[in-house]
Structure 1
Amino acid sequence: MLIILGGLPGVGKTSIARLAAQELGAIHLRIDTIEQAVIDCGVVPSDEMGPVGYVAANRIATDNLRLGHLVIGDAVNPIELSRAAWREAAIIADKPFVQIELICSDVDEHRYRVETRKGDIENLKLPDWQKVCDREYHPWPDVDLVIDTAAQSLCASSDILVGFVRKKIASI
């Protein structure tokens, strides 16, 4: 199964994806890691990244899904085009998918997280609060689950995700 994870920077996607990947034994594909590797190799300048990271991640997801692995796609997924590409990766591999959006409904908490978080990818410049606010992000009408990380721990949010995915897998 492919877990398509999305949400604005700073809502907790990567932290929750890591916890869930450990619990589920899943492969964690993080767009930030792929895109920064492409930038560091001088292949594409950061301001011209376009879909490169997403396309690479989608192909890696398909390969791992074909091998029978559970995969978590960790990306902002701001528009329908990026979400559809993840779904297509699962369809090509003939595997099911779920779409999970993470939000932080408390604006002050979200801002605090964005302004205080530490990066763990060499050379990656994290967006500031203004860039998060200015980022294009479209509603996700066909999402399977929305997890609000504002009033609960990362562990609690991960537990919700893991429980949801386990129920979906059991129903297949």
Structure 2
Amino acid sequence: MLIVFGGLPGTGKTTLARLPAARVGGVPLRIGTIEQAIVRSGPARQPLGPVAYVVGYAPAEEHLRQGLTVIAESVNPLAVTRDAWRDVGVGAGVPVIEVEVICSGPVEHRRRVTSRSVDIPGLVLPDWQQVLRRDYASWDREHVVVDTARQGPGGVPRLAGPASP
């Protein structure tokens, strides 16, 4: 199976994506890690555009064809990136679950963006204004939405339910 997490920086994608990776022994695939590896490899600089996504699709499909579950995590801001992830899963003949992670509380979202620490060496995190200016298109098909601003018992985010266009 392919589980794709998307959402703006600071919403909690990485934290949430790590849960199924640990529980099912899935292969985590984080576009931020790939982006930073590309930057470290030579003259490339942020923002890279679609390069890291295109690089990420190949190992994802290879792992899926080997029967492994892949948990992909990225901002996934545009329909073209979402469609490409879906195509990877369909091409490998596996189910695809798309999860949009949001933080509906702007004060909490800003706090997270401005206080989080870097866990990818060398990666420069966006500031709050960059997050607000980020190109992020609405999702155009049904997917799962997880709102991390609304915490349930034990601090577990509540599902906001499937979203439709």
Q: Same fold (TM over 0.5)?
A: yes
Structure with more strand by fraction: 2
What corresponds to 2:99 in structure 1?
100
Q: CA, structure 1 residues 40+138, in 2 after alignment: closer, same or farther (shift >3 Å)?
A: same
What corresponds to 2:78 in structure 1?
79
Which structure is richer in relative contact order (CA contacts within 8 A, separation 6 or more)?
Answer: 1
SS of equivalent residue, structure 2 residue 101: strand
Matched, 1:2 2:2: yes
What corresponds to 2:30 in structure 1?
30
**1:47-105, CA deviations, whole angstroms, 9 ceiling, x for partnerless residues?**
3x121100111111100000111111100000000001101111111111011100000
Instruction: Say whether the 8 Å CA contact 1:19–1:155 is kept in structure 2.
Output: no
The offset of 1:27, in angstroms, is 0.8
Instruction: Say whether the 8 Å CA contact 2:61–2:92 is kept in structure 1.
Output: yes
Cα distance between partner residues in 1 of 2:57 and 2:43: 18
Q: RMSD between aligned alpha carbons?
A: 1.8
The offset of 1:144, in angstroms, is 1.9
Cα distance between partner residues in 2 of 1:43 and 1:144: 37
Cα distance between partner residues in 2 of 1:151 and 1:90: 30
Structure with more helix by fraction: 1
For structure 1, list consecutive stretches of 5 or more residues without a partner in the other structure.
Answer: 165-172
SS of equivalent residue, structure 1 residue 29: strand
Cα distance between partner residues in 1 of 2:78 and 2:142: 12
Q: CA, structure 1 residues 155+34, in 2 after alignment: closer, same or farther (shift >3 Å)?
A: farther
The offset of 1:43, in angstroms, is 5.0
Instruction: Say whether the 8 Å CA contact 1:78–1:137 is kept in structure 2.
Output: yes
The offset of 1:45, in angstroms, is 2.1
Cα distance between partner residues in 1 of 2:112 and 2:40: 26
- Counting aligned pairs with the same residue, the percent is 45
What corresponds to 2:21 in structure 1?
21
Instruction: Say whether the 8 Å CA contact 2:10–2:112 is kept in structure 1.
Output: yes
What corresponds to 2:54 in structure 1?
55
Instruction: Say whether the 8 Å CA contact 1:78–1:136 is kept in structure 2.
Output: yes
The offset of 1:155, in angstroms, is 6.0
Cα distance between partner residues in 2 of 1:18 and 1:24: 10
* Matching of residues 93-132 of structure 1 within 5 Å: 93-132=92-131
Between the two proteins, the alignment pairs up a number of residues equal to 159
For structure 2, list consecutive stretches of 5 or more residues without a partner in the other structure.
Answer: none
SS of equivalent residue, structure 1 residue 72: strand
Cα distance between partner residues in 1 of 2:12 and 2:106: 14
Amino acid at match of 1:97: V
Cα distance between partner residues in 2 of 1:21 and 1:104: 21
Instruction: Say whether the 8 Å CA contact 1:39–1:45 is kept in structure 2.
Output: yes
Question: Given the two structures, how large is their TM-score scaled by the length of structure 1?
Answer: 0.87
Cα distance between partner residues in 2 of 1:44 and 1:25: 32
